[in-house]
Each structure stands twice: as C-alpha cells, then as structure tokens.
C-alpha cells in the first residue's frame, strides 16, 4: 500500500466561551488514501469542523491543534498562510452546502470557474474559456456556452451546486472535501449531483471526504464511514457493513430513521443519557 | 364530513400561476401528505387554505365551510399551521409562555395558566421550559413549542409544512412520534407537506404527488410502502429516495 494522502493524529478544535473553552473536536485521528471516506453525525458532532480544519479555515478565536496533520508529505500544521493558500483549491478543495451563499453573485458562472483555475495556473484567455466549457460539460450541464454567461441567481439550486463542483474540480485537486453537498437540494437532484462527484472522483483517482448527516446517503457513495458524536469518532466501519454497526449511537441513528416500508407504530428514540457524556 | 375539500384550485402569486387545477379531499381524522420537489406548489396549497396566499380561484372548504380569500378569526380555531423552520417561526423576544398564551388572549379564552401547562405536557416539554426564550431551546424543543402553539385553540386540523426537515434524524424521530401520538389522542386531521417519502410511510394514510403545480397521482400509503406507485414521475421520485420499485 502507498503512503496515505492525508494523515491526522489527535486533532482538536477548541472555541473559547464565557464558561471556558469548549472542545468541538476532541482528539480524533484517521488517515485517508485515494478513497471515498464518509463522515456522518448530527448537528454539533464536529463533522464540519473536522473538514474545515483540514483546510485551516478555522479562524481565531477558534484554535486547532494536532500531533500530526500531513497531506501528501506536507505538514499542514506548520505551513504558513501564504503557502496554505497555494494549496487550497489547487490540491485540496471544498464543496459547500448551499450554492446560494457560496457563489459570487456579481460574477458570471464562467468567470468564477475560470478564476479558480487562473489563480493557480495562469493561461491565455481562449484556452481558459475552453477548459471552463469542458468542465461544465463534465458536470453534465447542457448548453455550457449559454450557462457560462449566466449569473448565479439565474441558475437553479441543482445547477448552482454543479457549478460549484466544476469550480472545485477544475484545478484537478487530489482531495475533495464535500460538506453536505446536497442538503439544500431536492431528492431527485441529490442523486444526480452525487453521481457526478462520484464519477469525477473515480476518474481522476482523487480522495473524497463526504460530510453528511444522512447515513443512507453516505453508505451509498463511500467506501469507509466514520461516525462522529460529541466531537469524537465513535465508530469506523466499511460502508457495506453499516447495518452491522455496533456502537449504540450508530445503531440508534439507524433505527430512528423512518423506512420506506415503515410499519413500526413508534420510532425508537436515542437515549441520550446513556452515552452523551462520552 | 370531509375535513378539507379542494376543487379546481388555481393559485397565483401576481402574474405567476403556481398551482393548476388541483382537486382533492381529505377525510376527517385522515393524515394526508403532499409530496414533490421544491417549486411544485405543495406549500402554496397550505398557504391558500390558511389565507396566506389570497390569489386563488376554485373552491376551498374546511369542515364543510367555504373559505373566504382572507384570514378570518374563527378559522384559527379549526385549523392551524406548523412551519418548517423552528428557528424562524418563534418570536425571539417572547418567552414560551407568551407565545402559547397569545392565541388564548386573541380569542378571549380563559384559564390560560392551566391550558399552557396542559399544552406543554401534551408535547412532552418539562415545566421549567415555560419561561424560557427560543434561543435557550434546541431545535427539537422549539418545534415542540410550535406544535403546542398550534394546538392551543384545540383545532381539529393541523397543516404541517415540512415539520421535521430542519431537524436531526434522532430529533425527527421524537417529533414524528409526538405527531403520531397527538393525532391518535385528539383525533386530529393532518395535511402534511414533505419531500421525505419515508416520513409519509410512517405518518400518513394517503398521499398526493405533485409536479409543476399539478397533482400527478393520489395513492394509498400501501402503494408507497410496497413500491407500486403508478405515475412515472412518482416512481422516479420513489427511486431517488432510495426505494426499490415493484411493478405497479
């Protein structure tokens, strides 16, 4: 086996509060190869903070510490902000939850996608335009010529999310972090967007971290799953073995989801007192 | 008697017509779901019933009484609505007690103290929450308050607009259980809007699938549970939600 793409040891994220510092991520460790890793958990479990700290996007007063955070041989913890900026987008990029708030409203779709590439690899304008159109096609947008000249408010949510994916993948990064990439989308569009991410990740041999609260979705699109609760990883398993999960929290989450062929009179509710202290 | 009857209902926002020729009936005591993608007009139907979307033509009648085109005070006693986002639907500067007592004050109902206590108990909130502000509550607790507020005037119909989609899975389970229990205890009629088909399986008797402002299919929940929906679009929606299709 080759060296992992990303290794994290004892990552902790702390925020100060009037009642003293609160640890939102409590010393988690994991490593990632060129594979698809899912991080699941409920709100406040620290899953998004984990994703953001890999890109060093947590601003003071938040504090990130780790014994080790190495991406492809580069020590991220010791990296200066300037060098970090060269890495962001070019080698590690992130798809955010809501295209409405993450795209620049006063730039056309094509300009934004082009900017993402131009920043890291300057090239003549004509060549850039061709790459942008090619990328829009890769995310299955019909009439890329027309869509490239639209502004974000002129495209639908699903299309906006595909534009964001195009923007994040055009510099051909090695690692893509997708933080709830489809939560703002309709179910029918969700599958489409995830299929596109999946296809591009496989084709380019990238690593993917898919962060979501939806266990079923993560199980469908990932190889390996980390379940987080209260800032800690409570369970790690292969996606296909999710139904054999052993931790009471994971089992509780699985049971609490209504099923399509639901015939239970009542849904089991998590007993938070049992392990909330962990 | 039918709880809700819609006939040839068209609804517009200004020049845009968003709901076209919708007819459906919901029996008293039934739990009925409207499902579909965003923009399919499902929430707009709830708004028209409550009087929040006044530009409609056709007929709307609730418990046998035709609805007028504006909000009316008496209607609030028969039909109430619970909104999607519990963070946005409670007044941030009013305590839970103020929020629950307000409908009683507006309608001149006495015995407020007892009624507020009873409502909190009904939705499973401890008494110590009574004098808290919304920001001191979690999402699930806020949704409980919103449901309690809707129940203050003892309505017979609840309109539920995505009541659990802003909540975590484990909290969603608690709220769904609560809604199921309340319906059984009070004999309520539900008209639920959602895009989550498994929630419909758990909570509803029948469903209507909507697309582009029209109903494409009305089905019994059994058809949903067994994957035997008939319309091609309903089947597409079903497959996208992770269901395994069976021949219709």
- Structural domains of chain B, ranges and CATH numbers in brackets: 2-87+154-240 (3.40.50.300)
Cβ of A203 under 8 Å from any chain B Cβ?
no
Contact flag B176-A267 (C-beta cutoff 8 Å): yes
Contact flag A270-B198 (C-beta cutoff 8 Å): no
Contact flag A260-B197 (C-beta cutoff 8 Å): yes
pLDDT, residue A130, reads: 93
Contact flag B198-A259 (C-beta cutoff 8 Å): yes
| CATH of residue A41 | 3.40.50.300
One domain for residues A255 and A131:
no
Mean residue pLDDT of chain B comes to 90
pLDDT for B149 beyond 70: yes
0.85 surpassed by complex ipTM: no
Tokens of B248: 């219709």
Query: In this predicted model, what pLDDT tens digit does every residue of B23-41 receive, in sequence order?
Result: 999 999 999 999 988 778 8
Query: In this predicted model, what pLDDT tens digit does every residue of B192-247 receive, in sequence order?
Result: 999 889 999 999 999 999 998 999 999 999 999 998 899 999 998 888 887 777 76
d(CA B47, CA B42): 9
Domain residues for A209? Answer: 1-91+175-278
One domain for residues A114 and A205:
no
CB contacts, 8 Å: A215 with chain B: 169
One domain for residues A85 and A192:
yes
Mean residue pLDDT of chain A comes to 88
One domain for residues A39 and A127:
no
What pTM was computed for the model? Answer: 0.82
- Bond prior to A61 in cis (omega within 30° of 0): yes
Chosen domain end from A172, A205, A224: A172
| d(CA B146, nearest CA chain A) in Å | 20
Cβ of A273 under 8 Å from any chain B Cβ?
no
Tokens of B117: 């206590």
Helix (H) or strand (E) holding B194: strand B189-194
Residue B244: closest C-alpha in chain A = A260
One domain for residues A125 and A160:
yes
How many contacts does A have with B, using Cβ atoms within 8 A?
80
| d(CA A271, nearest CA chain B) in Å | 10
pLDDT, residue A2, reads: 65
pLDDT class for A10, splitting at 50, 70, 90? very high
Please give the tally of structural domains in chain A: 2
Residues B189, B28: contact at Cβ < 8 Å?
Answer: yes
One domain for residues A18 and A124:
no
| Residue from the list A189, A191, A253 with its beta carbon closest to the beta carbon of B170 | A253
Mean pLDDT value of segment A99-126: 91
| d(CA B133, nearest CA chain A) in Å | 19
| d(CA A130, nearest CA chain B) in Å | 33
| d(CA B203, nearest CA chain A) in Å | 9
pLDDT, residue B157, reads: 94
pLDDT for A276 beyond 60: no
Cβ of B139 under 8 Å from any chain A Cβ?
yes
One domain for residues A30 and A117:
no
| Burial of residue A79 (number of CB atoms within 10 Å: 0-12, 13-18, 19+) | middle
Chosen domain end from A150, A172, A194: A172
Residue B181: closest C-alpha in chain A = A266
One domain for residues A229 and A142:
no
Residues B213, B17: contact at Cβ < 8 Å?
Answer: yes
pLDDT for B154 beyond 80: yes
pLDDT, residue B6, reads: 94
Interface test with A, best of B163, B168, B184 (most A CBs within 10 A): B168
Query: In this predicted model, what pLDDT tens digit does every residue of A164-194 receive, in sequence order?
Result: 999 998 988 999 999 988 877 777 778 888 8
pLDDT class for B22, splitting at 50, 70, 90? very high
| d(CA B215, nearest CA chain A) in Å | 17
One domain for residues A156 and A145:
yes
pLDDT for B147 beyond 50: yes
Query: In this predicted model, what pLDDT tens digit does every residue of B61-104 receive, in sequence order?
Result: 999 889 888 777 888 899 999 988 887 889 999 999 999 999 99
One domain for residues A145 and A206:
no
Chosen domain end from A148, A172, A196: A172
Q: Pick the residue with more confidence: A275 or A171?
A: A171
Of chain B, the percentage scoring pLDDT greater than 90 comes to 60
Mean pLDDT value of segment A107-119: 92
pLDDT, residue A244, reads: 85
Of chain A, the percentage scoring pLDDT greater than 70 comes to 96
pLDDT for B45 beyond 80: yes
CB contacts, 8 Å: B195 with chain A: 186-187
Query: In this predicted model, what pLDDT tens digit does every residue of A184-229 receive, in sequence order?
Result: 777 777 888 888 889 888 988 999 999 998 888 888 899 999 999 9
One domain for residues A42 and A81:
yes
One domain for residues A167 and A179:
no
Residue A190: closest C-alpha in chain B = B240
């Amino acid at each position: 086996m080759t060296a992992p793409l990303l290794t994290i040891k004892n990552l902790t994220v702390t925020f100060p509060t009037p009642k003293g510092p609160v640890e939102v991520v409590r010393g988690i460790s994991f490593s990632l190869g060129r594979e698809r890793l899912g991080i699941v958990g409920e709100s406040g479990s620290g899953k998004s903070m984990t994703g953001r700290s890999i890109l060093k996007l947590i601003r003071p007063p938040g504090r990130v510490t780790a014994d080790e955070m190495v991406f492809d041989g580069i020590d991220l913890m010791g990296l200066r902000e300037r060098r970090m900026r060269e890495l962001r987008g070019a080698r590690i990029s992130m798809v955010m939850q809501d295209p409405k708030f993450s795209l620049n409203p006063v730039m056309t779709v094509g300009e934004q996608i082009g900017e993402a590439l131009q920043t890291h690899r300057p090239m003549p304008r004509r060549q850039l335009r061709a790459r942008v159109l090619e990328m829009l096609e890769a995310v299955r947008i019909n009439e890329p010529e027309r869509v490239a000249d639209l502004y974000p408010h002129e495209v639908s949510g699903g299309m906006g999310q595909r534009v964001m994916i195009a923007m994040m993948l055009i510099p051909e990064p090695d690692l893509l972090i997708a933080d709830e990439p489809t939560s703002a989308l309709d179910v029918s569009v969700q599958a489409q967007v995830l299929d596109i991410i999946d296809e591009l990740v496989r084709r380019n041999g990238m690593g993917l971290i898919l962060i979501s609260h939806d266990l079923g979705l993560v199980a469908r699109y990932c190889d390996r799953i980390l379940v987080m609760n209260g800032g800690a990883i409570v369970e790690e398993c292969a996606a296909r073995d999710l139904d054999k999960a052993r931790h009471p929290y994971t089992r509780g989450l699985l049971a609490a989801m209504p099923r399509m062929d639901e015939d239970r009179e009542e849904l089991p509710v998590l007993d938070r007192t049992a392990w909330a202290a962990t | 008697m039918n709880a809700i009857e819609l006939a040839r209902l068209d609804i517009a926002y200004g020049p845009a017509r968003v709901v076209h020729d919708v007819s459906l009936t919901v029996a008293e005591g039934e739990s009925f779901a409207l499902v579909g993608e965003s923009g399919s007009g499902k929430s707009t139907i709830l708004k028209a019933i409550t009087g929040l979307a006044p530009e409609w033509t056709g007929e709307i009648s609730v418990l046998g009484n035709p609805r007028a085109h504006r909000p009316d005070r008496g209607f609030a006693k028969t039909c109430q609505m619970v909104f999607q986002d519990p963070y946005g639907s409670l007044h941030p500067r009013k305590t839970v007690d103020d929020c629950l007592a307000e409908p009683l004050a507006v309608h001149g109902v006495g015995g407020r103290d007892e009624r507020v206590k009873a409502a909190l108990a009904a939705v499973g909130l401890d008494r110590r929450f009574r004098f808290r502000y919304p920001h001191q509550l979690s999402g699930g607790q806020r949704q409980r308050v919103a449901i309690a507020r809707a129940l203050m005037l003892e309505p017979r119909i609840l309109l539920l607009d995505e009541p659990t989609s802003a909540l975590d899975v484990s909290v969603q389970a608690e709220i769904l259980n609560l809604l199921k229990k309340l319906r059984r205890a009070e004999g309520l009629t539900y008209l639920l809007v959602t895009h989550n088909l498994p929630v419909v399986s758990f909570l509803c008797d029948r469903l209507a699938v909507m697309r582009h402002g029209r109903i494409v299919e009305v089905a019994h929940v059994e058809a949903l549970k067994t994957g035997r929906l008939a319309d091609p679009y309903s089947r597409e929606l079903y497959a996208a939600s992770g269901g395994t299709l069976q021949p219709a």
